[in-house]
Amino acid sequence: MSSERRLSDLRNLVSGLYTLGATIGTGHFAVVKLARHVFTQKEVAVKVIDKTKLDDISKAHLFQEVMCMKLVQHPNVVRLYEVIDTPNKLYLILEFGDGGDMYDYIMRHANGLNESTARRYFRQICRALKYCHEMHVCHRDLKPENLVFFEKQGIVKLTDFGFSNQFSPGKKLLTSCGSLAYSAPEILLGDPYDAPAVDIWSLGVILFMLVTGRAPFQEANDSETVMMILDCCYKLPPNISSECQNLIHHMIVREPEKRSTLDEVMSDIWYRQCDDDNEDVEDQHYVDSLPLISHKTISLDDHESILQQM
């Protein structure tokens, strides 16, 4: 092996444990790369964050992302395995989804999925969100782009907790964040908001997209989109079952206090219709998805210590 090749390999080696490969995603301050564990050859996704470009707000979001992902360990949530800190970079070692994201999947189905398939994926998203809310974590950026397919397991998993936050039941949050097409009216108005309720709105938008193949609020420009959201103006095609339409109408509701709760969504007649879907993801499938890096978890104190040193 030439010295140039060895130097290149060393530059792509993280903490002596992961060999970085192709870039599979980009953001403002980070890139996501495919990587392999040196000893097990298990594929992982590595989010590489350039700390030199982070302002105080970005650091706060990063801190929340790590803390919330550490709290939420569920079969339908992308797992954060570990955090590696260097002087200029922070590496988040994440579970790798081999099937792309749900947005691309929906775009390949111009008229939406059949309701049985949509229900199977929707249930998985609801189970992930229910666990998050039970841990008092709200996602605040639910959208198909943040749902990753794991084809070998036949499931979808929630990812990208960059806008997530912990909440106290009954206490409203103030920070406006998320993606316009999926944002609840109270977020756009800058009002204090109930954290679970804004996730329910976004969940309703996702279900709309699953069964129609398009977003309910996607106008020619942002101003028009905002007006449509504030007016709660959307239309479902007649081929959608009345039960599914009813569920969507109870989630995409202008007044947050009139929106269905997640428990009500998961008790809905459409949600509970019998399919071939296994209601519970096998715990063993979750364990099998973990690389042999370590089945141990990093303590919250360790994560906090790393981030405080940034």
For residue 156, give both structure tokens. 């979808």
- Spot the catalytic one: 9, 85, 98, 141: 141
Of 20, 13, 77, the closest CA to residue 43 belongs to: 20
Please check if 47 is assigned to a binding site. Answer: yes
CB 252 within 8 A of CB 232: yes
Determine the Cα–Cα distance for residues 187 and 150; give it in Å rounded to an integer: 31
Determine the Cα–Cα distance for residues 305 and 310; give it in Å rounded to an integer: 9
Determine the Cα–Cα distance for residues 141 and 178; give it in Å rounded to an integer: 5
Q: How many CA atoms lie within 13 A of 61 on its CB side?
A: 21
CB 180 within 8 A of CB 226: yes
Q: Please report, as a single letter, which amino acid is at residue 185.
A: P
Phi/psi zone of residue 221: left (φ > 0), alpha (ψ -120 to 50 degrees), beta?
beta
Active site residue 263: no
Distances (CA, A) of 309 to 6, 81, 204: 31, 20, 39
Of 205, 87, 211, 213, the closest CA to residue 141 belongs to: 205
CB 14 within 8 A of CB 91: yes
Determine the Cα–Cα distance for residues 104 and 108; give it in Å rounded to an integer: 6
Distances (CA, A) of 61 to 29, 119, 154, 168, 304: 12, 32, 31, 18, 13
| Residue stretches of the annotated binding site | 47
Active site residues: 141
| Residue stretches of the annotated binding site for ATP | 47
